[in-house]
A and B are shown apart, each in its own frame.
Chain A
Amino acid sequence: MTQVGSMETGAKAPAEVAKPVMSSQSKTYLASLALLVLVLLAWQFLPPALGVPKFIIPTVTDCLIEMKRMLLQEGLVGHTLSTALYTVLGFAIGSLLGAVIGYLLGMSEFWEKVLSPYILALQIAPKVAFAPLFIMWFGYNAMPKLLVTVLIVFFPVLVNVLQAMRTVDRDLVNLARAYNLSRWGIFMKVEMPSTLPNLMAGLRIASTLAVIGVTVGELVGGNTGLGFLISYGGGQANAAMVFNAIVLLTVIGFLLYTVLVRIEERVLHYLPKAQH
Chain B
Amino acid sequence: MALEFRSVSKEFTTGTGQNLVAVKDISFRVNEGEFVSVVGPSGCGKSTILSMTAGLYQPTRGEVLVSDEPVSGPNAHVGFMLQKDLLLPWRDIVSNIEFGLEARGVARAERRDRAMAELKRCHLAGFENHFPYQLSGGMRQRAALARTLAIKPEIVLLDEPFSALDAQTKLLLQNSFARTISETGKTTLLITHDLAEAVLMSDRILVLSERPGTVVAEIKVDLPHRDEPLQRRVMPEVSDYAGQIFKHLKLEEKAI
Contacts and interface: CB of A to CB of B under 8 A. Distances in A.
Interface residues on A, range: 20 to 34
B130 A11 contact: yes
Interface in B144-164: 151
A270 B78 contact: no
Contacts, number: 83
A1 B123 contact: yes
B229 interface: no
A178 B55 contact: yes
A177 B74 contact: yes
A4 B127 CA distance: 11
Interface in B48-105: 51, 54-56, 74, 76, 78-80, 82, 84, 86, 88-91, 99-100, 102-104
A230 B52 CA distance: 66
Interface of B: 51, 54-56, 74, 76, 78-80, 82, 84, 86, 88-91, 99-100, 102-104, 123, 127, 130-139, 151, 169, 172-173, 175-176
Interface string A188-202: 011001001000000
A270 B89 contact: yes
B155 to A, nearest CB: 12
B99 A12 contact: no
Given A10-B139, A12-B134, A172-B86, A178 B123 contact: no
Contacts of A271: 89, 133
B123 A182 contact: no
Interface of A: 1-4, 6-7, 9-12, 169, 171-172, 174-182, 185, 189-190, 193, 196, 270-272
B205 to A, nearest CB: 25
19 contacts: A2-B172, A3-B172, A10-B135, A10-B136, A10-B138, A11-B139, A12-B134, A175-B80, A178-B54, A178-B74, A179-B99, A179-B100, A179-B103, A182-B103, A185-B102, A185-B103, A189-B99, A270-B89, A272-B133
Contacts of B76: 180
B161 to A, nearest CB: 13
A171 B54 CA distance: 12
A147 to B, nearest CB: 35
A3 B56 contact: no
Contacts of B151: 179
B175 to A, nearest CB: 8
